[in-house]
Structure 1
């Protein structure tokens, strides 16, 4: 039985974080590049015990699991694998002490880009069913630029505060110009610090790192569980190294064939749909939802009020329109957070901003001292580096005006990809094509997913050519291991390589 508290933590770990709140970052128009040889460096991993990492994440880790950390050294630039500098990719291995019929390692990634696979592995060690953990070591990695690996860090805490707090829909020319200036300043901060090295944080570079990890783990073929942006990593890997795939579960699928505008619009539409589902739940459960019967009107009013006269939180910070919208976005990733959202908006209109700011800060990884992790630095750098098709600022302004009508709550902020539009670094778009020679790959989609809308699931499966769709009729972002039906289907695939029948659909509960 999966502990609900652990499962909730897993859900939080797999945020997509790709373009709906400031700072914005969308997905790129992929351009195939097969010229780079699919090289991977072997050499093993020197593991050391690190129970402290699991304790920091879980508080009380399972007694029957050991935790070890290590590093795999990879080329800084896979285009020059033999003659250049290296960087270290941090790993954590969680191993059940009573494994039987061990299959190998299950490599995991929570998405982002910018999420920590090291932390995800600790959560999954307590959150996955014993059927899985008794057959696999759970191995998480922090991709290049992320967390415990060599970090990319180019935004100040003040810049991130300004970005998250900014009006999500700056209408007047003066307000729009202010947003453009902030986006330019943030982009230039990264350019000034990293210059041409920004391109080294691309998705394709990270996918090639995954093959070095596979080799270092001693696995002939890779078994992988990727959530959200992790599905893009997995898809790129499968194209580059199709014969090295054993079993891939891509949960919360991204369609790599979408250009940045189409990808952003898909996400705006997904969040609007998810909010409509929340509003319908509110209307039908007025006893649990203090902003019933019209949740959309209540949230819209809260954002408008925050523009005119923001309520201040306990630390004196103003709960501006940007912070309120961030709290809304954070809450739509999991149905379990709907009550928290309704309560936070109700508290805000009563003059208490604490719960709104708490929800927003959990999404932004902002601690009580106002300090940020490097989650959004990595998120922005990867997204902008991958993106070969961000429109110029004037085109984004036109999209903002158009999407305000189509997607009133989330369209304008999703359109305004003002950092990537002014990106100073070279781009490195990822390939988008078939994984010729790969075995069946399981692509999991949730019908109520806000961040990676369900429509992208069959598109990814079709692009890969070997994708098999598994559908969950649920709410929130990603599916495994939330219900028995989903869990059983994924486990049979991971363990026995049994592919679900075509059209397999799991109910919400």
Structure 2
């Protein structure tokens, strides 16, 4: 046998060995078909004429690691760019936050607030993330009594109340597991980031341009980690930061205490207007009287849990502070809670879906706390202030979750192009330190901070020309500021 035959036999043997020894390459999902846009559901408002909104559905794998398995549909909306073809820069995906926020109508509502140059340059693309709204909506049933009216006091005091609090978290986790079943591990931010890239491909875009607010910033950072070379111009506004969800919730609960103290001082400054006292201490006493009375005797199913939810919502935006102060005064004067009740129905289908998706996503994104950590952190927070607001502590339920993620969600990438981060200096919902921390994971990126501002959501939201002009220049022209920018903010509002 010649040397050539020997070599040929050896190569054939190696090829056969390799074929049997190496595992088969994982199946890849087929390229998504182009989106077919048509009429939208009633939940999507119409934009001003002559513009119009159109909607489509995109089939994606429930588990992107097994693209041949079950599929779900993602609902997508679009309002086309209003400028000339020469002005067009592509598609701009938008996300309003959460987790659990519906993005389908956001293409209309957020677009209306964007600078004109951005509206002329981009098709604005909204979508309901998986588990939300019209995209395979999640349901957790009674969620451990979360929707009871009035709800149990959400701030446990003493060992018996702490055990009851932990039991409610366990019940919530059990309810989600019973309702979500096989979908439980797949309603994660990483899977949604894969859905975003499928939307990009279905739109025929080479890169994903994105505006994400609050949780949307976390989703955008997860997309960057997975698809740095598909990342286009990204604006991450009111940044969550690179933390586990539970650690973030604890950070937020402490920031809310600082914000509430600021609210007490502001209300006292306008003491004649609100009638709650002329010192922060006096306003605080009035606030505590309201909560204590509601805990003793709820009014029309409005008790301490409902009160804390109203306070949580109001503290995030300074334009809601006057309404909160008026509501406190009205209750103390005539016992009515009408001024404290939010406009949205907490027990309605949309709210139920939001609360379920919020927990499902947070608990799918990384490891949760232990019950001991939860109790320890509540006690530490109560040492800072005996009556904290714990409404945003959604990730506490992850202590009893039925599926424990193997790893944390990866955020950011040094391979991505520069992105723009935006923060309000005193945002209590997503404290500004999160933006500074995420910036370190995004080399070449820039941070725009709105100083002397106390609200959540900045770009095309606070009406600040410095912020809006810088972000618009980045989105339309790709202009990255040479350094981080600080813009002068509005300060606290005048009382109406």
TM-score category of the 2 structures, normalised to the smaller one: 0.7 to 0.9
Q: 1:429 to 1:274 in 2, by over 3 A?
A: farther
User: SS of the counterpart of 2:447?
Assistant: strand
Instruction: Pick the aligned partner of 1:259 from 241, 244, 260.
Output: 244
Structure 1 residue 308: Cα displacement: 1.8
Q: Which residue of 2 aligns with 1:171?
A: 157
Structure 1 residue 76: Cα displacement: 0.8
Matches within 5 A, 1:367-382: 367=348, 372-382=351-361
| Aligned residues of 2:368 and 2:396 also touching (Cα < 8 A) | no
User: SS of the counterpart of 2:171?
Assistant: helix
The answer to which structure, 1 or 2, has the higher relative contact order (CA under 8 A, 6+ apart) is 1
Pair 1:301 & 2:289 matched: yes
- Unmatched runs of 5 consecutive residues or more in structure 2: 1-24, 491-496
Structure 1 residue 289: Cα displacement: 3.1
User: SS of the counterpart of 2:88?
Assistant: coil
| Aligned residues of 1:167 and 1:321 also touching (Cα < 8 A) | yes
| Aligned residues of 1:45 and 1:217 also touching (Cα < 8 A) | yes
| Aligned residues of 1:272 and 1:410 also touching (Cα < 8 A) | yes
Structure 1 residue 408: Cα displacement: 4.1
Q: Highest CA radius of gyration, 1 or 2?
A: 2
Structure 1 residue 147: Cα displacement: 0.3
Q: 1:409 to 1:499 in 2, by over 3 A?
A: farther
Structure 1 residue 180: Cα displacement: 2.3
Instruction: Pick the aligned partner of 1:47 from 26, 37, 61.
Output: 37
Q: Distance in 1 between matches of 2:389 and 2:322?
A: 24
Matches within 5 A, 1:108-127: 108-127=94-113
Shifted more, 471-480 versus 348-357: the winner is 348-357
| Aligned residues of 2:236 and 2:421 also touching (Cα < 8 A) | yes
| Aligned residues of 2:32 and 2:198 also touching (Cα < 8 A) | yes
Pair 1:71 & 2:57 matched: yes
Q: Distance in 2 between matches of 1:436 and 1:285?
A: 49
Structure 1 residue 85: Cα displacement: 1.6
| Aligned residues of 1:386 and 1:428 also touching (Cα < 8 A) | no
| Aligned residues of 2:224 and 2:231 also touching (Cα < 8 A) | yes
Structure 1 residue 166: Cα displacement: 2.2
Kindly provide the CA deviation profile for residues 153-202 of structure 1, in whole angstroms up to 9, marking residues without a partner as x.
Answer: 11238933238822121213333333222222221111122334200001
Q: Which residue of 2 aligns with 1:346?
A: 329
Q: Distance in 2 between matches of 1:67 and 1:366?
A: 29
| Aligned residues of 2:449 and 2:487 also touching (Cα < 8 A) | yes
User: SS of the counterpart of 2:209?
Assistant: strand
Q: Distance in 2 between matches of 1:246 and 1:457?
A: 19
Q: Which residue of 2 aligns with 1:356?
A: 340
Pair 1:462 & 2:462 matched: no
User: SS of the counterpart of 1:213?
Assistant: helix
Structure 1 residue 145: Cα displacement: 0.3
| Aligned residues of 2:36 and 2:57 also touching (Cα < 8 A) | yes
User: SS of the counterpart of 2:191?
Assistant: helix
Q: CA RMSD in A?
A: 2.5
| Aligned residues of 2:62 and 2:186 also touching (Cα < 8 A) | yes
Matches within 5 A, 1:155-304: 155-156=141-142, 159-162=145-148, 165-256=151-242, 258-293=243-278, 294=280, 295-304=283-292
| Aligned residues of 1:106 and 1:225 also touching (Cα < 8 A) | yes
User: SS of the counterpart of 1:137?
Assistant: strand
User: SS of the counterpart of 1:237?
Assistant: helix
Kindly provide the CA deviation profile for residues 454-499 of structure 1, in whole angstroms up to 9, marking residues without a partner as x.
Answer: 1111101112334311101212111011211111011001011111
Q: Distance in 1 between matches of 2:396 and 2:408?
A: 21
Q: Distance in 1 between matches of 2:134 and 2:288?
A: 39
Structure 1 residue 394: Cα displacement: 2.8
Q: Which runs of 4+ in 1 moved over 4 A?
A: 35-40, 96-100, 411-418
| Aligned residues of 2:365 and 2:409 also touching (Cα < 8 A) | no
TM-score (norm 1): 0.84
Kindly provide the CA deviation profile for residues 359-391 of structure 1, in whole angstroms up to 9, marking residues without a partner as x.
Answer: 2x63x7444xx9844001100111112131312
Q: Distance in 2 between matches of 1:259 and 1:457?
A: 15
